[in-house]
Amino acid sequence: MVGLFPGLRADAAFADIGATVESALAPSAVDGSQQPVRLVKEMPGLEAKFALTPASFPLVEVVGLAAADGPQVTHSEPYGSLKLVGMDWDATADDVNLALHWQVDAPLSADYTTTIQLFDAQGDKIGQDDRPPGGIYYPTTLWKPGETLVDRHTVKLSPNSVATTVLVAMYAGPELEMLAPPLILNAPK
């Protein structure tokens, strides 16, 4: 077992936790083998970049990239220096679990928060969830061009409501500075 820590070495592969874990997932240059990669604790937000599964407490196993399977519903919606390439959608009577798949085209200069707002057929807002994608361990300022990241949300719905429209936007700071104008999408069926 090898211990890897962000900042342990000066080279770029160890500059942040995302780069550190990604280097650990890479096959060995010597024989192509891969070693299991485990985090020593939960790191909220790292699931934007990696597929994680609980291991022996408190360990968390990294089993690959979060976006490896691709989205259920594909899109190609430019959004500032990002592109929304797809969405996963699972609606119940009480809430909607959705995951936005973002492709990074250029570095982001601020730590953004994503807002998801759901509307019914009459245009009434029936639910909203705001959270920073990547949390504290992989915020948007660490996102790198070429990456595809998964931004997960659970939106509680108003009673007896059905979402028909999804508003997606990102904002930064107390001024709520928008990365780009909101995306307005049809809710998947």
| Tens place of pLDDT per residue across the chain (189 aa) | 555 555 556 666 566 788 888 888 888 778 888 888 888 888 899 999 999 999 988 899 999 999 999 999 999 999 999 999 999 999 999 999 999 999 999 999 999 999 999 999 999 999 999 999 999 999 999 999 999 999 999 999 999 999 999 999 999 999 999 999 999 999 998
Longest dimension (CA), the chain: 61
- Residues 174 and 143 placed together within one structural domain of the fold: yes
Please choose, from the candidates 86, 94, 96, 137, the residue with its C-alpha nearest in 3D space to the C-alpha of residue 116.
96
Q: What is the pLDDT of residue 122?
A: 98
Spatial CB neighbours of 11, under 8 Å, sequence gap ≥ 6: none
Quick check: is 4 in a domain? no
**What own/partner pairs with CB < 8 Å and gap ≥ 24 does 80-88 have?**
80/108, 80/170, 80/179, 80/180, 81/105, 81/106, 81/107, 81/108, 81/179, 82/108, 82/170, 82/179, 84/168, 84/183, 85/148, 87/166, 87/185, 87/188
Quick check: is 185 in a domain? no
- Residues 165 and 127 placed together within one structural domain of the fold: yes
- Residues 52 and 97 placed together within one structural domain of the fold: no
* Number of domains into which the chain is organized: 2
* Structural domain span for residue 110: 73-180
User: How many CB atoms neighbour CB 5 within 10 A?
Assistant: 10
Spatial CB neighbours of 54, under 8 Å, sequence gap ≥ 6: 60, 61
Find the length of the chain.
189
Residue finishing a domain among 24, 40, 65: 65
Q: What is the pLDDT of residue 28?
A: 78
- Residues 26 and 99 placed together within one structural domain of the fold: no
Residue finishing a domain among 65, 90, 110: 65
Report d(CA 149, CA 60) in Å as an integer.
19
Quick check: is 188 in a domain? no
- Residues 39 and 129 placed together within one structural domain of the fold: no
Residue finishing a domain among 48, 65, 82: 65
Which CATH number belongs to the domain containing residue 79 in this structure? 2.70.50.60
- Residues 121 and 165 placed together within one structural domain of the fold: yes
- Residues 100 and 147 placed together within one structural domain of the fold: yes
List, in sequence order, every residue forming a beta bridge with 84; answer none if it has no partner: 77, 102
- Residues 79 and 49 placed together within one structural domain of the fold: no
Q: Residue type for 47, please? A: E
